[in-house]
Amino acid sequence: MNPWRNIWTITKRELGAYFSSPIAYVFIVIFLLLCGFFTFFVGGFFERQEASLVRPFFDWHPWFYLFLVPAVGMRLWAEERRTGTIELLLTMPITAWQAIVGKFLASWLFLALALVLTFPIVITVNYLGHPDNGVILTAYVGSWLMAGAYLAISCITSALTRSQVVSFIISLVVCLFLILAGFPPVINVLEQLAWPNMVDLITSFSVMTHFEGFQKGVLDSRDILFFLSVIGFSLFTTSVILRTHRAG
């Protein structure tokens, strides 16, 4: 059987599972409310008096994803392990890798849908001014890649435990490290305690550092490679964990 057909079958199955329960709708509503509130009220969109979404909108995405993406990803494998359906899934005529990619793509597409639904904010800023929509589009691409990196990490933690709560907490802590490694106050402290080369090495692992280029409208291959590498490494680690589980 075509491996891509297997992946697409699993993707459709997972997407259907999201929208057959209130989880998807609750997530989307919370995400849209947070985006609107922080953009127009906390982010000072009107006070800035400039047609830009870089600071008032996209600056908050790493923090929104810190809680919301692990909440989406925590059920991917933990629920399968808790209910015992993981054994059935792994004995089907599909490989573990196909199951992993299918589940990941379903959740990543779901996050893409949530991002697309923020389009009223883009319409608003275009109505009020003349923003650079190329920069906005690039920032959206970076935001989606960053969400994918968070999600891939959540795949690892979900495969490690039967508890969705434990998976959520572990992935939140790991993703928090990826934020703080490039957070300006943390960098200032590191510059006083460590060598410059060590500081550069630590900040190179931060999603903040690599997302910044996208916010400026720059599609740097190094930033794209960083997010894709995190996704690839995390999915590979997930496959190792699942193979160990099947062998056990």
Q: What is the pLDDT of residue 221?
A: 94
Cβ burial of 222 (10 Å; 0-12, 13-18, 19+) is exposed
- How far is the C-alpha of 72 from the C-alpha of 110, rounded, in Å? 9
Q: What is the pLDDT of residue 30?
A: 92
Question: Average pLDDT for consecutive 10-residue bins of the chain (248 residues)?
Answer: 82 87 88 92 80 87 94 81 63 78 94 95 91 94 97 93 89 93 79 76 87 93 96 94 70
- φ, ψ (nearest 5 deg) of residue 66: -55, -35
Q: What is the pLDDT of residue 96?
A: 80
How far, in Å, are 83, 86, 114, 117 from residue 25 at the CA level? Answer: 23, 26, 10, 12
